[in-house]
A = this chain, B = another copy of it.
Amino acid sequence: MAIIDISIVPVGTGKPSVSDYVAGAVRILKNEPGLKYELTGMNTIIEGDLEKLLSLAQRMHNSAFDAGAKRVVTTMRIDERRDKTLTIEGKIKAVKDKLGK
């Protein structure tokens, strides 16, 4: 199990807003039954098998072209741990426990 964060930026569109493109990419995740993901202010975080996550990432990246972008810059970070199960919830809990709340 791995967790990725992914951010899709269309380049050369005529306006600074990117929420249309981000919504199009997140819709792909919404349509995946049982998928764990979270929309944050800077990216989308997804939990699952790495091969599946990379396939979703590619579809999200492609969706920005489908929506009209001529160039797309996608940033992704993969965090994978094989000695124990890694989950979005577990990672946040571990830090919050140490912060004492």
Chain A residues in the interface with B (C-beta under 8 A): 3-5, 7, 9-20, 22-23, 26-27, 30, 38-43, 45, 47, 50-51, 54, 57-58, 61, 65, 70-84, 87-89, 91-92, 94-99
Roughly how many angstroms separate A96 CA and B9 CA in the complex, as a whole number? Answer: 17
Specify which chain B residues have a CB less than 8 angstroms from the CB of A14 in the assembled complex. 12-14
CB distance from A36 to the nearest CB of B (A): 10
Cβ–Cβ contact A71 & B76, under 8 A: no
CA distance A44 to B32 in the complex (A): 26
- Within the complex, what minimum Cβ distance (angstroms) separates A89 from chain B? 7
Known: A16-B81, A71-B81, A79-B71. A38 touches B39 (CB 8 A): no
